């Protein structure tokens, strides 16, 4: 459960980082670093969600 919350939070953070890297920053190095971190977070979120979806429900009733 906590992994899904972390993944959703990281998606929100990566959205903000991409916005800043594309619209607010003028320094090319900072733009690249912000975008790199954002895409790394998105990759982590993708892999976490794939794991969560295919691991199935955790409780049996």
Averaged over 18-47, what is the pLDDT? Answer: 95
**What is the reported pLDDT for 17?**
94
Q: Is the pLDDT of residue 58 over 80?
A: no
pTM of the model: 0.82
Q: Which positions ≥6 away from 2 have C-beta within 8 Å? A: none
Q: Which positions ≥6 away from 3 have C-beta within 8 Å? A: 48, 51, 52
Element (DSSP H or E) covering residue 43: helix 28-55
Q: Is the pLDDT of residue 57 over 90?
A: no
């Amino acid at each position: 459960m906590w992994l899904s919350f972390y993944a959703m939070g990281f998606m929100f953070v990566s959205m903000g980082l991409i916005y800043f890297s594309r619209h607010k920053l003028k320094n090319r190095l900072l733009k690249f670093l912000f975008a790199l971190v954002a895409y790394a977070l998105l990759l982590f979120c993708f892999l976490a969600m794939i794991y969560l979806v295919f691991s199935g429900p955790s409780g049996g009733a």
